[in-house]
């Protein structure tokens, strides 16, 4: 490239030294930047930029490298070390990591990740949809692709240079549903980004302002830098490293051993959420009158005799708080209420995700409608134990389901739900999820509530 000119300028060592920073600026701000300049781009991770000592910058770079490296394992890590880019891939998600400087064109969502070892390497091209439900086509159709280019490529010029790495994820997919928001975005985001100690920027594709507002405390706690919306900020941004996509472990789950030095559900709940929402530690055995929060659904899986249920709960000694599922999604408001709640009661549904905010030892009481045993266990029952909560289930009888009247006692909908699921999830969903309401048998339900009280170490006042 500009070698001859540089030689002239560098006629004497002193002039050369003085001019280097200038040359650096000129060449780096010029248009399409040639490949070998990647080697020279200093990228102190600290955010203090040039004011820091070179030694510190090198340490920062090493530390940055180590937090990025831990996101890939085995052969992927070997590839990362060799080429500067590697992707972890499993049933649920793709996570691509670059531990060298990247340029991201936000207009086209293209990540330019050239590597500096074998420059003759041909162009490589990958497409990642950064949302952790890869196995679900319906969800992934709602997620925009991110293209990653590597190899001998022409680089666009940087409009903005960042000193912290970027994590790219989508707020598309199944957002609008609390379970999916935590399951596919918030928990995976925590798993992937917490160890950066807030020194990173989020680039959120399929950007929804309300989503970013709803989770503002969480996002602010995970990143001290501005969140970037590609639709508004359509320029080329340069980062010292990048991650495209989020790690995923299981339904509302964190697997401590899946990533070296990984986090547990208790790290997420007791430490992270508590700090993000400024919640006090609660000791439930000290509460005199346990608080029961009842999730009152208004479309499907409604409690048809809710008033009677509430009366009975109060007779048992609970202070009952009735809430609508959508009201609960303002966490800054609702988290404190959940944090002092002893029992959370609700029919199977996304509202039960609020159990994440219950204090340890609280009871999650899930009412399981007909046909939803599997989903109830996998989405909430098992995760509840991992959360350090006590879990009880109230499984309804056909007499308590509005489906009995609709279909009659002998219909497979009532006698054999599994046969409907064999016809496909959509068929089953239309019936059990969308068309079912519940008329709870108070005699039987009371026993389940007494059980919850016992688990809390209380005896029912009227029991």
Rank residues 51 and 443 by Cβ distance to ligand NAG and give the closer one. Answer: 443
User: Could you tell me the smallest distance in angstroms from the CB atom of residue 26 to ligand NAG?
Assistant: 21
Copy the structure tokens of residue 315: 């007779």
Rank residues 407 and 421 by Cβ distance to ligand NAG and give the closer one. Answer: 407
User: Could you tell me the smallest distance in angstroms from the CB atom of residue 351 to ligand NAG?
Assistant: 17
Q: What angle do CA 212, 218, 224 make, to 5 degrees?
A: 90
Lookup result for tokens 């809390």: 456
User: Could you tell me the smallest distance in angstroms from the CB atom of residue 411 to ligand NAG?
Assistant: 19
User: Could you tell me the smallest distance in angstroms from the CB atom of residue 109 to ligand NAG?
Assistant: 15
Calpha distance 327→331 (Å, rounded): 9
**How many CB atoms within 10 Å of residue 280?**
10
Q: DSSP for 11-62?
A: TSHHHHHHHHHHHHHHHHHSSSB-GGGGGG----TTS-GGGS-HHHHHHHHH
Give the neighbor-by-neighbor strand order of the sheet with 390-395. 319-323, 291-295, 343-347, 363-368, 390-395
How far is CA 385 from each of CA 98, 252, 311, 380, rounded to the nearest angstrom?
36, 11, 29, 9
Q: DSSP for 226-250?
A: PPB-TTT--SEEEES-EEES----B
Rank residues 399 and 410 by Cβ distance to ligand NAG and give the closer one. Answer: 399
User: Could you tell me the smallest distance in angstroms from the CB atom of residue 329 to ligand NAG?
Assistant: 8
Rank residues 79 and 305 by Cβ distance to ligand NAG and give the closer one. Answer: 305
Rank residues 147 and 441 by Cβ distance to ligand NAG and give the closer one. Answer: 441
CB-CB contact of 301 with 347 (8 Å): yes
User: Could you tell me the smallest distance in angstroms from the CB atom of residue 397 to ligand NAG?
Assistant: 7
Q: Which residues bind ligand NAG (CB under 6 A)?
A: 119-120, 152, 160, 213-214, 226, 232-233, 250, 255, 257-258, 283, 285-286, 330, 332-333, 399, 441, 443-444
User: Could you tell me the smallest distance in angstroms from the CB atom of residue 141 to ligand NAG?
Assistant: 27
Rank residues 37 and 255 by Cβ distance to ligand NAG and give the closer one. Answer: 255
Q: What angle do CA 299, 301, 306 make, to 5 degrees?
A: 90
User: Could you tell me the smallest distance in angstroms from the CB atom of residue 431 to ligand NAG?
Assistant: 22
3-state secondary structure of 71: coil
Rank residues 339 and 428 by Cβ distance to ligand NAG and give the closer one. Answer: 339
Rank residues 120 and 298 by Cβ distance to ligand NAG and give the closer one. Answer: 120
Calpha distance 312→317 (Å, rounded): 9
User: Could you tell me the smallest distance in angstroms from the CB atom of residue 325 to ligand NAG?
Assistant: 15
Rank residues 356 and 428 by Cβ distance to ligand NAG and give the closer one. Answer: 356
Instruction: Name 42's Cβ contacts closer than 8 Å, sequence gap at least 6.
Output: 57
Q: What angle do CA 164, 77, 147 make, to 5 degrees?
A: 60
């Amino acid at each position: 490239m500009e070698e001859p000119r540089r030689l002239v300028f560098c006629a004497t060592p002193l002039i050369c030294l003085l001019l280097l920073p200038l040359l650096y600026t000129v060449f780096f701000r010029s248009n399409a930047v040639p490949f070998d300049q990647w080697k020279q781009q200093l990228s102190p991770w600290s955010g203090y930029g040039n004011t820091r000592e070179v030694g510190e910058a090198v340490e920062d770079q090493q530390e940055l490298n180590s937090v990025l490296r831990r996101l890939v394992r085995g052969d992927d890590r070997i590839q990362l070390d060799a080429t500067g880019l590697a992707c972890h891939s499993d049933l649920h998600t793709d996570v691509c990591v670059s531990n060298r400087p990247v340029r991201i064109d936000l207009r086209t969502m293209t990540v330019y990740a050239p590597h500096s070892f074998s420059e003759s390497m041909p162009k490589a091209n990958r497409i990642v949809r950064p949302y952790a439900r890869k196995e679900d086509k319906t969800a992934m159709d709602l997620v925009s692709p991110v293209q990653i280019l590597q190899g001998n490529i022409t680089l666009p010029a940087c409009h903005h240079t960042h000193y912290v790495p970027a994590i790219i994820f989508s707020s598309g997919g199944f957002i609008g549903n609390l379970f999916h928001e935590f399951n596919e975005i918030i928990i995976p985001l925590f798993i992937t980004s917490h160890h950066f100690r807030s020194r990173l920027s989020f680039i959120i594709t399929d950007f929804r302002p309300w989503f970013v507002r709803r989770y503002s405390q969480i996002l602010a706690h995970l990143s001290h830098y501005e969140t970037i919306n590609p639709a508004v900020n359509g320029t080329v941004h340069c980062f010292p490293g990048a991650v495209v996509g989020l790690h995923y472990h299981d339904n509302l789950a964190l697997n401590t051993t899946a990533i070296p030095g990984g986090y547990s559900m208790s790290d997420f709940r007791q430490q992270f959420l508590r700090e993000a929402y400024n919640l006090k530690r609660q000791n439930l055995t000290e509460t005199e009158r346990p608080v029961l929060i009842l999730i009152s659904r208004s479309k499907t899986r409604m409690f048809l005799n809710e008033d009677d249920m509430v009366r009975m709960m109060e007779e048992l000694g609970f202070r009952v708080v009735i809430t609508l599922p959508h009201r609960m999604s303002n966490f800054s408001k609702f988290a404190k209420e959940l944090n002092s709640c002893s029992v959370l009661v609700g029919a199977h549904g996304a509202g039960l995700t609020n159990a994440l905010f219950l204090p340890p030892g609280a009871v999650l009481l899930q009412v399981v409608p007909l046909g939803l045993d599997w989903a109830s266990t996998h989405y909430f029952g098992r995760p509840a134990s991992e959360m350090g909560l006590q879990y009880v289930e109230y499984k309804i009888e056909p007499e308590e389901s509005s489906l009995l009247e609709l279909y009659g006692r002998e219909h497979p909908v009532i006698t054999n739900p599994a046969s409907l699921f064999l016809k496909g999830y959509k068929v089953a969903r239309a019936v059990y999820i969308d068309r079912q309401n519940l008329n709870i048998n108070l005699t039987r339900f009371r026993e389940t509530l007494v059980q919850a009280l016992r688990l809390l170490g209380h005896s029912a006042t009227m029991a």
